[in-house]
């Protein structure tokens, strides 16, 4: 099973909602009596107003460290830049890239 984490970029990081989900994964690492997650792979999809991918580095690091700690195989990262207003995602080739990304995992 592949776990796809999705978030807008909020001040160089992931959203609080996604952070809360990631924090709950800790229970599967701390208490060995719990059943392990069926998730074996993960991917990250993000969008944000920033026009350069370097501004996503904090969020990407959070994802990579989480995937590594949870022993998930990283299936890839898709970052959509320059997305701030309704309809911006339709500019460029983001939807085709997202479809190709989804097909690849």
Tens of pLDDT along 47-64? Answer: 999 889 999 999 999 999
Among 20, 24, 18, CA closest to 4: 18
Backbone angles phi, psi at 79, to 5 degrees: -120, 125
pLDDT band, residue 88 (cuts 50/70/90): confident
Mean of pLDDT values over 16-34: 80
Ordered by where they begin, the domains of the chain are 2-104 (3.40.50.360)
Q: What is the pTM (predicted TM-score) of this model?
A: 0.85
Among 99, 47, 41, CA closest to 71: 41
| Cα–Cα distances in angstroms (integers) from residue 105 to residues 48, 79, 84, in the given order | 22, 16, 27
């Amino acid at each position: 099973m592949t776990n796809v984490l999705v978030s807008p970029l909020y001040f160089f990081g992931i959203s609080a909602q996604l952070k809360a989900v990631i924090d709950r994964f800790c229970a599967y690492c701390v208490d060995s009596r719990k059943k392990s997650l069926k998730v074996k792979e993960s991917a990250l999809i993000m969008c944000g107003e920033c026009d350069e991918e370097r501004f996503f580095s904090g969020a990407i690091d959070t994802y990579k460290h989480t995937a590594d700690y949870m022993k998930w195989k990283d299936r890839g990262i898709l970052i959509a830049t320059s997305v701030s207003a309704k309809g911006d995602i339709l500019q460029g080739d983001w939807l085709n890239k997202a479809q190709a990304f989804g097909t690849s995992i």
